[in-house]
Copies of this chain bind each other. A is one copy, B any other.
Amino acid sequence: MQSPVRDYLTEVLDSLDAERGGAVADYIPDLAEANPDLFAIAVTTVDGRTYCVGDDEVEFSIQSISKPLAYAAALADRGFDTVLEKVGVEPSGEAFNELSLESGTCRPRNPMINAGAITTHGLLVDDDADVESRVERARSFFSTLAGRELTVDQALHKSEMDSADRNLAIAHMLRNYGIVDDAPHDIVDGYIQQCSIMVTAKDLAVIGACFANGGVHPVTGERVMSRRIARQVMSVMAGCGMYDGAGEWLTTVGIPAKSGVAGGLLGTLPGQCGIAVFSPRLDEHGNSTRGVLTFRRLSTDMNMHMVDAEPYGTTVLRDVRTSDDSTTFELQGVIQFSGAEYVLDNLAADETGTPTVVFDVSQVSHFADVGRRMILEGMRRVREDGRRVVLIDPDDTLPDPDLGDGSYPDRS
C-alpha cells in the first residue's frame, strides 16, 4: 500500500493547475523569464517525512522567504534584546511606498517588511561582519535548515542590484536614523544576495518543518535553533507574514507563512508540518496566486488551522491499572500543561490507597517543561501522602527527577 498523502497533494495540485490568474514578477529580467506554469507542493512532517508533488526539484530564488530565516539567524547571533531594539514585531497595514518605521524609535515595524529585513540582514554575525561573511552566514544557515548545500545565484543578484533603488532608499533612510551603521550599498548588496539563494519547494517544506518542530531538524533530529527562536519567528510570521490582509490570512488560513516574489510560499503548522508551494504567477498583493489557493485548500480540507487545535490533554493517560499493592499510571505522548493537568486530576481522584504508585513514562515521547514540573510535583505530593513512588523510565525521558526536596522516586 502507498500512503495516500502524496495522492491528496496531487489531487490539490491537479485541481488548481488550471488557475492562471496573476502574473510573473517582471521588475527584473531573471524573474520575468520564469516559466509561469511551474507548480509544486511539498509537505514535511515534524518527524521527517516529506511528500512532494509537481515541479518539486525546480530551483527558484528564495527572495522574501529569506526574511524569517535570516531573522532566526540574527536572533541566534545577537540575542533577542539587540534584535528587538532594532526591529519591531508589529503588523504594518501601511501601503507599499511607506517605510513603516515606528514613530519615536524609527525602528522598522517588523522583520517581514523590507526595512526590517535589511536591518536584520545587517545584524547577522556581529558588528564587524562584512558583506561576504553575512551572506555566507545566511547561506550556510539556510543550508543547515534545508539539509543540503544551497547556493547564491550571482547572475540574479547582479540583475537585482540594477533595480535596487527602493532598497537603497530604505538603507540610506535607516542609516539616517541610526538604525544601521554600515554603508547602505553594502547592506543592500548582501541582502540581495541573501534573497538570491536558490531553493526548491522540497527545501522550503523541510525548512518549515524545522520551525514547526520547535527548532529541531525533522530529519537529522539536530537542534538548529532554540525553541524560543522558532516560536518568535512563527509568531511574527503569523502576524506580519502576508503583508496587508494579515487578518484575512489568520482567519481563513491560520498557518504562519511567508511568500517570495519568485513564487515561493512557506508555511509552518506548529507541531505538525512544514508546507511549501511554488508557482510563479503572483496576485495583486505579490503572493503566489496558486500558493494562496493551495494553503486555503489545505487549511479547510485538512483542518490545518493554527487555532483549530484538538484537545489532546486526555490522551496522555494511556492507562491506569491497579493491583493489590500498586496503582500504575501509564503516560504517553507529549506531556504539556493540559495533559499533565489531566494526569494530576486523576491522581487526586485516586481512591485505591495502594501503598505504591507507579508512574510508567516509557511511552512518553517528550515532556514539555511545564509537564515535567507538574508531574514531579504530583509525585512529591503522592509521597507526602505516605505512598511509595516508583518511576519506570527506560529511555530517560524524565532525567534527574528531583522531587523538589532533593529526593527521587524509586526506579523500577
Scan A270-286; emit 1 where CB is below 8 A from any B CB, else 0.
11110000000000000
The yes or no answer to A263 lying at the interface (CB within 8 A) is no
Q: A103 contacts which chain B residues (CB < 8 A)?
A: 95, 97
Q: Are B313 and A45 in contact (CB under 8 A)?
A: yes
Known: A313-B47, A348-B2, A368-B303. A231 touches B308 (CB 8 A): yes
Q: A47 contacts which chain B residues (CB < 8 A)?
A: 311, 313-314, 342
Give the interface of A toward B (CB within 8 A): 1-5, 8, 45-47, 49, 88-93, 95, 97, 99, 101, 103, 106, 110, 165-166, 168-173, 175-177, 184, 212-214, 227, 231-232, 234-236, 238-240, 244-248, 250-251, 254, 256, 270-273, 301-316, 318, 332-334, 336-338, 341-342, 344-345, 347-348, 350, 365-366, 368-371, 374, 377-378, 381-382, 384-385
Taken together as a complex, chains A and B put the C-alpha atoms of A333 and B310 apart, in Å, by 10
Taken together as a complex, chains A and B put the C-alpha atoms of A45 and B313 apart, in Å, by 9
Q: Are B3 and A309 in contact (CB under 8 A)?
A: no
Q: A244 contacts which chain B residues (CB < 8 A)?
A: 90
Q: A170 contacts which chain B residues (CB < 8 A)?
A: 169
Q: Are A251 and B232 in contact (CB under 8 A)?
A: yes
Q: Are A350 and B312 in contact (CB under 8 A)?
A: no
Which of B46, B89, B106, B171 sits near A338, CB closer than 8 Å? Answer: B46
Give the shortest distance, in Å, between A342 (CB) and chain B (any CB). 7
Q: Are B341 and A49 in contact (CB under 8 A)?
A: yes
Known: A91-B91, A350-B1, A374-B5. A303 touches B336 (CB 8 A): yes
User: Taking the full assembly, how many copies of this chain does it contain?
Assistant: 4
A3-B345, A212-B311, A332-B332 known, 16 other contacts, Cβ within 8 Å: A47-B342, A49-B345, A90-B244, A92-B93, A95-B103, A97-B99, A97-B106, A97-B177, A169-B176, A235-B251, A271-B338, A273-B338, A310-B336, A311-B365, A312-B333, A312-B334
Q: Are A247 and B309 in contact (CB under 8 A)?
A: no
Which among A45, A171, A382 has the greatest number of chain B C-beta atoms within 10 A?
Answer: A45
Q: A344 contacts which chain B residues (CB < 8 A)?
A: 3-5
Q: A110 contacts which chain B residues (CB < 8 A)?
A: 247
Q: Are A231 and B254 in contact (CB under 8 A)?
A: yes
